[in-house]
Structure 1
């Protein structure tokens, strides 16, 4: 890691770089607002020491494990899956020996940031130094300053949202909120996908438990009310948003009789693919209606074919690196929802995509008209430096900066949170600096936008 960390991701042109560095300095140490992510709240509640370098930096980060697997390292040798029993030092060696394969990826940048800022490691991992680096990190992890709560404070995290099953009792969130020694906000997020998709494994059993837990009848009206009940429970525990991970953002408004008929068939497992799509689309429409009523921000993460490789899913489970993007259409799919609710003041709808062709073609134009709709930050396969700059260029000329969501780290890898937010802040500074140098915005305006992108904008969009 011989390059200059201070100049990382900054423009090559010296005059533009000087402006970018000034803008970055205004936001570099601002508190982190993380309104969408997947960190386990129990980790912060228990505050146990991290087990080892491999668990900390590799096994739970599918960005890392998927590329190692593609490079020939079996997943079971990376500690992936419920039955994994790989030696942590061996896992670390796999990463070190293959470090060169990550060159140019966002993962390499984040890992370098973590190694440098947390462990004072400036040498690139390799087969020769793998054990020495492992021992260095393992020694640091024995320090109380490296427990989750201490790092939470060190990272400057003000708000951290988790992602939670609708029937979660949210006990960890309640305990953290009641703990006078914990100063941050850890907010649950209502994630009902498995309860809304009739083709999801275990759909009927989940819905039955949902109805039983809320005392609602096994009718479509009872089903919708049960979801409302659980949303209210989440709001009582601090939730500000509901997240929807769907293959396509298809919406439709069915009449009550049709909805009841499809729901009854779904409970029996009798829906064909076309009917299942109709019920899914109606439930995404209903979710928007619920958000209008109760105020939960509605985030939609579409366009990913989950568990693309069935044998890997069967052996290792979900979130193991083989979720693959698909083309996604928004304008027609969302029209029923937006015609009904797009101008409702209480609805905040944040659209994400992993199909970057949709940014300038659909999402930015939609956000440039509908007051309820915001442009989600680059997500997943697009949260890399060049992709983030392409995103800014694609959406800003149509919708400006203030119709975007602010940065979303969307990660399970706790230690990568500050690295990801720092990446975004540097790239936004670089983008704004170019506009200043080109005479397209003034320097004071650029400073205000840089500050708002990390604070005022996410607070507004996510009702923080």
Structure 2
């Protein structure tokens, strides 16, 4: 087996002594607040024990799936009926070919942090690694809560649709200092053009206990569900949208569009913009009333491969970066809320790196001094949560905003083995600052920069989200 102790080592990604000092003394031991992810609250509440490493590490991971398909792996070994061990061996055969893809770093970092494995993963040792890790996963110290504790996780915030009963959040009790929270994600009530919209309205009607036959009743239902989520400790919302397209609108116009949809009439682009603007404004005002943080993940072009979407469904690896116009809609949307003093704390996430400076300057338009870091340019996400993507986001935020108030990293993941991504981000942040010190761009003041690093890694998020308060 190849020894990679010189690869995943104490100073991995840290190029200077100052960066090493920053990371080990100010970043590494900070608790993790993972304020946006797609983990299963059921598995957390039940303290699930995984059967094997494929189940915890490969199932549902469309990052890995895309790479495997690119390398010519048959779908049977990705989402098909191959055995867990066969799937793992196929994945392992791909890893050596993934140099410079973040999966190469994440793979070995995760094997090291969770299983203390120091060997490079290849097809040659795949069976042995599978057996060893799957055996460990049967131990009590590898249950879900034990894994979260092992990574220093303090708060996990999952993402739920308004239909969700939040039963598992209710069932969960604080365990070893771990808190489980949720984020309200009502995208299906916004995407009126989708084929499943009418069915979704029926489901929402069943949950709230009254018919949804108008825009007014829809807003009543959404208000009902926001109250329900708030009663269960929710302090965040989230939206995954291509863009925010703003249009002058009102409740009457929104209801006209709603009725056209109910009656099976075609919707125009203007109809869509007026309806979606109305719903987004209604929701945003509801978030402000409740003191929630609102999040907008913008720029994904989803479900590009319709053949595979039909076969495998959404979130299976057929999405990419889009090139949408973002500035005008964002500006008008935030300005409308700001005029009535109903703009709550907000994080905007950008998926197209060409828009980084746009996002970094947009938040400055609405940071009004009322709240420290009220408007946030979120960390690089999805295709951009790698070294280059995160560096560009940090640079844009630093150059055009205030890095020291940044709320830092999140996993946005469906995998319980993704938490070393916080370490990955923290090492990168410390390395950037360490190189700035080396070049004389920042003073050699470890206490000052260390305090900023600690804030970005933990304290800013703790304060911003008011978790555990």
| TM-score bracket for this pair, using the shorter chain length | over 0.9
Aligned to 1:393: 395
1:24 aligns to 2:18 (yes or no):
no
- How far apart are residue 217 of structure 1 and its match? 5.0
Q: Give the match for residue 205 of structure 1.
A: 199
The reply to whether residue 305 of structure 1 matches residue 301 of structure 2 is yes
Deviation for aligned residue 1:159: 0.6
**Unaligned 5+ runs, structure 1:** 12-16
Q: Structure 1's 403 and 181: CA in aligned 2 closer, same or farther, altered over 3 A?
A: closer
TM-score normalised to structure 2 length: 0.92
1:262-277 alignment to 2 at 5 Å? 262-274=257-269, 275-277=271-273
Q: CA deviation at 1:38?
A: 0.5
2 CA distance for matches of 1:20 and 1:325? 32
Residues 51 and 270 of structure 1: CA distance in aligned 2, closer, same or farther (over 3 Å): farther
In structure 2, relative to structure 1, the CA distance for the partners of 1:435 and 1:38 (3 Å cut) is: same
The CA distance in 2 between the partners of 1:31 and 1:434, in whole Å, is 25
* CA displacement at 1:181 relative to structure 2: 4.6
1:328 pairs, out of 324, 328, 346, with 324
Unaligned stretches of 5+ residues in structure 2: 368-373
CA distance in 2 between counterparts of 1:460 and 1:304 reads 29
Whole-angstrom CA distance in 2 between matches of 1:283 and 1:346:
15
Structure 1 CA distance, aligned partners of 2:334 and 2:123? 54
Aligned residues: 451
Q: Is the 8 A contact 2:299 2:350 kept in 1?
A: yes
Name the counterpart of 2:424.
423
Q: Distance in 2 between matches of 1:100 and 1:281?
A: 47
Cα contact 1:374–1:461 (8 A) shared by 2: no
Structure 2 match to 1:196: 190
The whole-number CA distance in structure 2 between the counterparts of 1:41 and 1:356 is 32
Asked if structure 2 preserves the Cα contact closer than 8 Å seen for 1:253 and 1:336, the reply is no
Contact 1:37 1:409 (8 Å CA) reproduced: yes
Contact 2:248–2:274 under 8 Å retained in 1 = no
Which shows bigger deviation, 446-455 or 281-290? Answer: 281-290
Map of 1:227 onto structure 2: 222
Structure 1 residues 208, 405: closer, same or farther in 2, change over 3 A? Answer: same
Instruction: Specify the SS of the correspondent of 1:187.
Output: strand
Output the aligned Cα RMSD: 1.8
1:399 deviation in Å?
A: 0.2
Call closer, same or farther: CA 1:4–1:303 in 2, change over 3 Å.
closer
Secondary structure at the counterpart of residue 186 of structure 1: strand
Worse-superposed segment, 107-116 or 29-38: 107-116
Quote the residue 1:374 is aligned against. 376
Shift of 1:144: 1.0
Per the TM alignment, residue 99 of structure 1 is displaced from its structure 2 partner at its CA by 1.5
- The answer to which of 343-352 and 300-309 deviates more is 343-352
Measured after TM superposition, the shift of residue 278 of structure 1 is: 3.0
1:329/1:358 contact within 8 Å kept: no
Q: 2:146 & 2:349 partners in 1: Cα distance?
A: 32
Which residue number in structure 2 is paired with residue 14 of structure 1?
A: none
1:451 maps to which of 449, 454, 459 = 454
Q: Distance in 2 between matches of 1:397 and 1:208?
A: 48
The answer to whether 1:460 aligns with 2:460 is no
Q: Name 1:10's counterpart in structure 2.
A: 14
